[in-house]
Amino acid sequence: MEIYTIISILIVLTAIFSYINHRFFQLPSIIAIMIMSLLTSSLFIILGKFNPAFSTHAVAIINSIDFHTLLMKVMLSFLLFAGSIHINARNLKREALPVLTFATVGTILSTFIVGALMFLLLGMFSLQVPFIYCLLFGALISPTDPIAVLGILRKAKIPASLELKISGESLFNDGVAVVIFITILEIAVAGNASLSFLDVSFLFLKEAGGGLLFGAALGYAGYLAMRSVDNYQLEVLITLAVVMGGYAFADFLQISGPLAMVVAGIITGNMGSPTAMGDITRDYVGKFWEMIDEVLNAILFLLIGFEMLVIKWTPKLMIIGAITIIIVLLARWISVAIPVFFLRFKNTFEKNAIPILTWGGLRGGISVALALSLPKEMYHDEFTAVTYIVVVFSIIVQGLTIGKFARKAGGA
């Protein structure tokens, strides 16, 4: 099927589901769209039992979409820039220590805790998966997805400082987790004897440090270009060039594109918006990226729902997936509690911050995309199914209840 036809189908379905939600349910849009795409997928599967044609075409369309490439190489750059452009740098600076600690130390802790517990769990189900592959799963499931978090927290009405901790962490730990995932994947492919500790450290620092520095240079270059003109069409085009050209060049340099986009977005929003843009340009740039954010978010979560059609399900994997939800939440709790214990001497944390940060750490499309990128020999099918179960639970159950949970826990 032609790419234009596929895009048209996705846009039409996204518009229909968004309209139904707006008229009748008023749920957070990305959650509602994903629920409806899950229900539609389930309907296709049921009807396919009686008439295979009902599900065959739907499966063929989803199979023709390279979800990993679409998200990680195309959509993610736009979504991270759109999310970070609205982050207040002054407020983020006040929360910099906990945000960066959660994004780095917390993500690494979670990766190893999930990896170790998954190794034990899979062994109990007679799946002798090498520990290095379990660590890969730990890396891909540990990041709190900024796409899910930012879209849902806007409506959750939790304390502003706590929202900033969660959203700021999600923007940065996304890039950190991708770097950790790539590093572990390199070790798994090369073999333990082929990479030294220095090799691994250099790879990690090159990806993460290079991404941060390149993002700063990219954001500042965009700021200088916008400051030299006063034309809203051209300045919107400059922000597009920063995102698309910058992300492609980061990939060429083999540094972290996601981290580069976060830093470039923060600089554009906090330097470019107040000092390099006129009122008209500021309004157009803000609305343009808000629209990009909303549309791509909606399409992404529609696709996540429809991925259910192509995942290979077994009763054993469903049970493992259900237990993994508990493992991931436990790892999140530990990876938040340890940093909070040490940081509380220097930073102020809201009442019951640990349970709120734990429950507010939503998983999303990035985890699914990374799972789908696993080679077949690294238990691709098993980890993809388990990841999907965790992500669906996270977005629907945690996403719908985080606001009420935060108020009940005394965070407000």
Q: Residue 198's pLDDT is what?
A: 79
Taking the complete model, does pTM exceed 0.75, yes or no?
Answer: yes
Q: Which fold has domain 67-408?
A: Na+/H+ antiporter like fold (1.20.1530)
Q: For residue range 94-121, list pLDDT tens digits in order.
A: 888 999 999 999 999 999 999 999 999 9
Residue 20: how many CB atoms within 10 A of its CB? 13
pLDDT at 144: 86
Q: To the nearest whole percent, how much of the chain has pLDDT over 90?
A: 56
Mean pLDDT calculated for residue range 235-263? 94
Kindly report the number of other CB atoms within 10 A of residue 352's CB atom: 16
Domain ranges of the chain: 3-63, 67-408
For the chain, the residue count is 412
Tens digit of each residue's pLDDT (9 = 90 or more) over 332-364: 999 999 999 999 888 778 778 899 889 988 898
What percentage of residues in the chain have a pLDDT greater than 70?
Answer: 94
Q: What pLDDT does 155 receive?
A: 66
